[in-house]
Amino acid sequence: MSGMSDSLVIARRNVTRMVRIPEVLVFGLIQPIMFVVLFSYVFGGSINIPGGGHGPSGYREFLMAGIFAQTVTFATAGAGAGIADDMHKGLIDRFRSLPMSRGAVLTGRTLADLVQTALTLVVLAVVAVLVGWRTHENVASVLAGFALLLLLGYAFSWIGALIGLTVRTPEAATSGGLIWLFPLTFISNAFVAVKGMPTFLQHIAEWNPFSATVAASRELFGNTNGQAVKSVTGAWPMEHPVIASILWSVLIIVVFHTLAVRKYRSATA
């Protein structure tokens, strides 16, 4: 309970800073909104989705789960940069000298990032509705889809925490947090159907934890476009995307929480 209390104090500190510097949230919204508009109107009329027809409306329903997932995972770079900035300024050393839980600083930071990610998703969902995205399931199912997206974002924030503790500058944390995310998000089912990829990439894409959450969200949103075949390679995560999404996210949290806390205990500014 003491550790949770310490974590909430740190989370409140980071949320307060976010409120006082609103441009961080505003600029964080620009990129995903641009992706929604550009992919919907530029590529939507040229990409044929199996079972979804050929045209912008079918592609938008296919696309949005991928954009949502990309948005929550790209928050990794911000989490890493924030922690690296605290390290650079010596704030982490001051926290480490206090009688508080060792993991509270990192847990509080990731919880604050989760709040920011949730706000971003709300705004992005409104924009998606405005460009023509619709869900076809009940409210509980749709909320469950967003919950899985937030769980994935929280899991990836722990990867960002480890990166932020490992590098020396916020700039390096931003680069280190993004460079591996591009292949992870694009070698997936987020933007195009896996069926059109080379065989070896199909296997990678369908075992990608990012793909599992995208597929689970589409299923819970009712945006599957009537696709009869969930997996082209028979991959278990694509056949059971909701369960796979939860398992992947929990595994990432357990592994990177452990590594980040261990790194925090030995980190120096």
pLDDT digit string, tens, across residues 122-139:
989 998 998 888 898 999
Instruction: Report the distance separating Cα 75 and Cα 134, nearest Å.
Output: 25
Question: Nearest 5 degrees, angle CA 96-CA 102-CA 108?
Answer: 95
| pLDDT (0 to 100) of residue 207 | 95
0.75 exceeded by the pTM?
Answer: yes
Q: Give which of 67, 96, 97 is closest to 83, Cα–Cα.
A: 96
- Give the per-residue pLDDT at 90: 74
Place of tokens 């998000």: 185
CA separation, residue 180 to residues 163, 217, 248 (Å): 12, 22, 17
Q: Note the pLDDT of residue 213.
A: 96
pLDDT of residue 269: 43
The pLDDT assigned to 37 comes to 82
Per-residue confidence band for 221, with pLDDT thresholds at 50, 70 and 90: very high
**Single-letter residue type at 204:** I
In this predicted structure, what is the pLDDT of residue 48?
67
Is residue 228 pLDDT above 80, yes or no?
Answer: no
- Per-domain residue ranges for the chain? 2-266
